[in-house]
């Protein structure tokens, strides 16, 4: 009798619970973590020098992708990651820092998520998800363009390409300050701020708010490893001797390790370092020590980030959410080549309390960077780095772990637009709201469940373009065009199956393949709305122009005020001189 009564009560309670609430309790949580500017082999599990045990554990228990591609720049990648839509169709074709005036305000180049572009947060929120975001945003600055305008319930967001990791201040003249916002309103940072610590702390705070029984989307945009490269000294100390033999040695080590791990075929050609890069042996001993230390900070910054990822994982285990959480860990693009060595940059650095020397390197006031040489070495077994569509700019890590994901390596091609549709299918999100821009990516769920070996067929053409640098994949083939200053604007053809380092241009040997891929790229560019960059476009030169324009615009009131005061003083001085001369003339 008691058993029957209990069963009856159970049925009545189940009937009283709304169907949506029952379904909600079964939906997985999502934690999406973006590393800024990490190379394919930076993480320990991919063969890197930095200790990343927490991320490595997720990779071991989940899917570790070896042929995943992103875009070569941060904002386009993040727009595609959060929407599943090609960067041009999101409105964020590139970043404001390199945007030529000819493209300003054009469709696809508004530097904001345009109408109809729907984020993961906006899709998951109606399903009962709590939508949370901390860290770098950089997807629009106007009214309604911050995370709270795109489906996030709670957010503490940096609306810039980067910022200092220790203080509430800008990292480049393009920005007057570090624009942090909480839930769309200007916010300040705590006194004990360190970016990776804070980004995780704030996310844990948000997770513990409200109805903690509801599923959540947690999006964390880490500042590691973006410039300025900064890390607590206890992490940097682990790598002070690791890079003392220089960038050529690092590139060779990673290339050899990549073969051992099967990231490239055994015997694959090692890509040459760009001829304009410095030789390690041409540096003085002091310069070598400084650059090795900068790279040590880079590794320390990654280990520090992994340490705080571990705190987040531990929190989820303590709350009981871990087993029902899907983790996504990736990088927005390859390693950062930019430096602060230009003497014209010196006065700004000094005025903002920065130094680029060895003293207390990586700590508060230190402006760290690894430069193009170590960036090129770090991208091994690939060629070039961030900004460019050679494999060093595009081929980055992707780890997905959690319920329903079979452990193991995934060697099938995948691209950044595939992440959003994968998570939406996991959440059983259903069709997009009416008026939404269609998704370009494909769900990776067949790969993650082990039901398929690929989601792209050999004849599928997948294009990428950012600021004139363009590429297209089709089966084993890839065409590439890189512009100045590290490219020459010419198209090249590579077979990545046996030449992943893009060492041998096969355009003359396979003209029919070359022509087919160029036609495929033209169709892609027309479909998504690519605008050709102006003749002679150079991204580095454009950054300098845009920074100068931003500084002048920001300081124009002061310039006008000082100009008027200067004219008044000059006028007064002229009047005084004339008065004195007239007085002397009368006396004479």
Together in a domain, 378 and 473: no
Residue 231: half-sphere exposure toward Cβ, Cα within 13 Å = 31
The total number of structural domains in the chain stands at: 3
Residue 536 lies inside a defined structural domain of this protein: no
Please confirm, yes or no, whether 88 is among the known catalytic residues: no
Spatial neighbors of 40 by CB under 8 A, at least 6 apart, are: 46, 263, 334, 379, 381, 382, 395, 396, 397
Residue 243 lies inside a defined structural domain of this protein: yes
Separation in Å, CA 5 to CA 14, 15, 17, 138, 325: 14, 15, 19, 58, 35
| Interatomic CA distance for residues 279 and 276, integer angstroms | 9
Together in a domain, 391 and 473: no
What is the distance of C-alpha 545 from the center of its chain? 23
CATH of the domain at 335: 3.40.720.10
Please confirm, yes or no, whether 138 is among the known catalytic residues: yes
Is the Cα torsion angle 330, 82, 136, 462 positive or negative in sign? positive
pLDDT for 532:
96
Together in a domain, 342 and 299: yes
Is the Cα torsion angle 337, 341, 347, 351 positive or negative in sign? positive
3-class state of residue 580 by DSSP: helix
- Which residue's structure tokens are 């964390």? 220
Backbone angles phi, psi at 398, to 5 degrees: -145, 125
Residue 183: half-sphere exposure toward Cβ, Cα within 13 Å = 5
What is the distance of C-alpha 543 from the center of its chain? 18
| Interatomic CA distance for residues 330 and 32, integer angstroms | 8
Residue 133 lies inside a defined structural domain of this protein: yes
Spatial neighbors of 528 by CB under 8 A, at least 6 apart, are: 86, 88, 89, 108, 463, 465
Q: Which of 88, 138, 307, 308 is catalytic?
A: 138
Residue 2 lies inside a defined structural domain of this protein: no
Range of the domain at 566: 546-588
| Strand-pair partners of 544 | none
CA angle 4, 7, 12 (to 5 degrees): 125
3-class state of residue 404 by DSSP: coil
Together in a domain, 168 and 293: yes
CA-based max dimension of the chain = 130
- The strands making up 491-495's β-sheet, listed across from edge to edge, are 461-466, 469-474, 477-481, 491-495
pLDDT for 558:
63
CB 456 within 8 A of CB 449: no
Q: Which two tokens stand for residue 587?
A: 């006396």
Together in a domain, 417 and 564: no
Together in a domain, 422 and 552: no
What DSSP element (H or E) covers 401?
Answer: strand 398-401
CB 82 within 8 A of CB 420: yes
pLDDT of the chain along its 588 residues, tens only?
333 333 333 333 333 333 333 334 589 999 999 999 999 999 999 999 999 999 999 999 999 999 999 999 999 999 999 999 999 999 999 999 999 999 999 999 999 999 999 999 999 999 999 999 999 999 999 899 999 999 999 999 999 999 999 999 999 999 999 999 999 999 999 999 999 999 999 999 999 999 999 999 999 999 999 999 999 999 999 999 999 999 999 999 999 999 999 999 999 999 999 999 999 999 999 999 999 999 999 999 999 999 999 999 999 999 999 999 999 999 999 999 999 999 999 999 999 999 999 999 999 999 999 999 999 999 999 999 999 999 999 999 999 999 999 999 999 999 999 999 999 999 999 999 999 999 999 999 999 999 999 999 999 999 999 999 999 999 999 999 999 999 999 999 999 999 999 999 999 999 999 999 999 999 999 999 999 999 999 999 999 998 888 878 766 676 566 667 766 777 777 877 887 777 777 776
C-alpha closest to that of 35 among 126, 107, 136:
136
Residue 346 lies inside a defined structural domain of this protein: yes
Going by their DSSP bridges, the two strands 414-415 and 130-136 should be labelled as unpaired
DSSP string, 474-507: ETTEEEEE--BTT--S-EEEEETTT-TT--S--T
What DSSP element (H or E) covers 409?
Answer: strand 408-410
Together in a domain, 424 and 471: no
| Number of Cβ within a 10 Å radius of residue 92 | 32
Together in a domain, 327 and 178: yes
| Number of Cβ within a 10 Å radius of residue 117 | 21
pLDDT for 17:
37
pLDDT for 132:
98
Together in a domain, 25 and 89: yes
pLDDT for 527:
98
Residue 539 lies inside a defined structural domain of this protein: no
Together in a domain, 407 and 552: no
Residue 535 lies inside a defined structural domain of this protein: no
Backbone angles phi, psi at 519, to 5 degrees: -65, -40
Q: Which two tokens stand for residue 9?
A: 């009560």
Q: Which two tokens stand for residue 367?
A: 């402006």
Together in a domain, 334 and 361: yes
Mark which of 448, 474, 490 sits at the end of a domain: 448
Q: Which two tokens stand for residue 293?
A: 């230390």
| Interatomic CA distance for residues 441 and 453, integer angstroms | 17
Spatial neighbors of 345 by CB under 8 A, at least 6 apart, are: none
pLDDT for 432:
92
Mark which of 424, 448, 472 sits at the end of a domain: 448
CA angle 274, 280, 285 (to 5 degrees): 155
| Interatomic CA distance for residues 557 and 312, integer angstroms | 46
Together in a domain, 370 and 481: no
DSSP summary character for residue 280: G
CB 90 within 8 A of CB 114: yes
| Number of Cβ within a 10 Å radius of residue 176 | 12
Residue 453 lies inside a defined structural domain of this protein: no
CB 50 within 8 A of CB 43: yes
CB 35 within 8 A of CB 379: no
CATH of the domain at 484: 3.30.1120.10
CB 456 within 8 A of CB 477: no
C-alpha closest to that of 402 among 431, 427, 421:
427
C-alpha closest to that of 175 among 542, 563, 543:
543
Going by their DSSP bridges, the two strands 29-35 and 216-221 should be labelled as parallel
């Amino acid at each position: 009798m008691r058993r029957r009564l209990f069963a009856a009560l159970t049925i009545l309670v189940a009937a009283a619970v709304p169907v949506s609430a029952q379904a909600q309790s079964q939906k997985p949580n999502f934690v999406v973590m973006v590393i800024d500017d990490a190379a394919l082999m930076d993480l320990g599990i991919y063969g890197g020098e930095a200790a990343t045990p927490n991320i490595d554990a997720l990779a071991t228990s989940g899917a570790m992708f070896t042929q995943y591609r992103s875009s070569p720049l941060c904002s386009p990648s993040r727009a595609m990651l959060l929407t599943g839509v090609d960067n041009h169709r999101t409105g964020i074709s590139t970043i404001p820092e390199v945007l030529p005036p000819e493209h300003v305000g054009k469709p696809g180049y508004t530097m904001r998520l345009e109408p109809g572009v729907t984020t993961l947060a906006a899709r998951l929120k109606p399903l009962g998800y709590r939508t949370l975001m901390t860290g770098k945003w950089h997807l629009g600055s106007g009214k309604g363009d911050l995370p709270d305008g795109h489906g996030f319930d709670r957010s503490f967001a940096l609306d810039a390409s980067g910022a200092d990791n220790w203080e509430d201040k800008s990292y480049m003249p393009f920005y007057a300050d570090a624009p942090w916002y909480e839930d769309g309103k200007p916010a300040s940072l705590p006194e004990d701020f360190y970016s990776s610590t804070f980004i995780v702390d704030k996310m844990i705070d948000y997770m513990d708010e409200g109805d903690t029984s509801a599923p959540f989307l947690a999006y964390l945009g880490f500042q590691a490893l973006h410039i300025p490269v900064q890390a607590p000294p206890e992490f940097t100390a682990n790598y002070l001797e690791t890079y003392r033999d220089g960038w050529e040695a690092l590139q060779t080590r990673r290339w050899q390790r990549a073969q051992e791990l099967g990231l490239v075929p055994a015997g694959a050609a090692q890509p040459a370092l760009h001829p304009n890069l410095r030789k390690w042996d041409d540096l003085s001993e002091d310069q070598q020590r400084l650059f090795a230390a900068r790279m040590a900070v880079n590794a320390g910054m990654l280990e520090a980030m992994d340490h705080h990822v571990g705190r987040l994982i531990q929190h989820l285990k303590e709350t009981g959410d871990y087993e029902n959480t899907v983790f996504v860990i990736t990088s927005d693009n390859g390693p950062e080549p930019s430096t602060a060595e230009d003497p014209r940059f010196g006065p700004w650095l000094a005025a903002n309390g920065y130094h680029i020397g060895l003293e207390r390197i990586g700590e508060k006031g230190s402006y760290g960077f690894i430069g193009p040489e170590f960036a090129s070495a770090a991208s091994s077994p690939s060629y070039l780095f961030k900004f460019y569509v050679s494999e060093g700019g595009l081929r980055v890590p992707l780890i997905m772990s959690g319920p329903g994901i079979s452990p193991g390596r995934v060697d099938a091609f995948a691209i950044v637009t595939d992440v959003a549709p994968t998570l939406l299918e996991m959440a059983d999100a259903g069709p997009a709201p009416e008026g939404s821009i269609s998704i370009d990516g494909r769900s990776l769920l067949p790969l993650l469940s082990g039901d398929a070996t690929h989601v792209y067929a050999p004849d599928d053409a997948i294009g990428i373009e950012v600021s004139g640098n363009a590429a297209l994949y089709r089966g084993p083939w890839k065409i590439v065009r890189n512009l100045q200053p590290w490219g020459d604007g010419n198209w090249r053809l590579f077979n990545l199956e046996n030449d992943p380092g893009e060492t041998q241009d096969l355009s003359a040997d396979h003209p029919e393949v070359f022509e087919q891929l160029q036609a495929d790229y033209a169709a892609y560019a027309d479909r998504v709305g690519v605008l050709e960059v102006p003749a002679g476009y150079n991204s580095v030169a454009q950054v300098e122009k845009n920074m100068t324009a931003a500084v002048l615009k920001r300081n124009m009131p002061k310039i006008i005020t000082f100009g008027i005061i200067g004219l008044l003083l000059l006028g007064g001085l002229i009047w005084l001189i004339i008065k004195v001369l007239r007085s002397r003339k009368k006396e004479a």
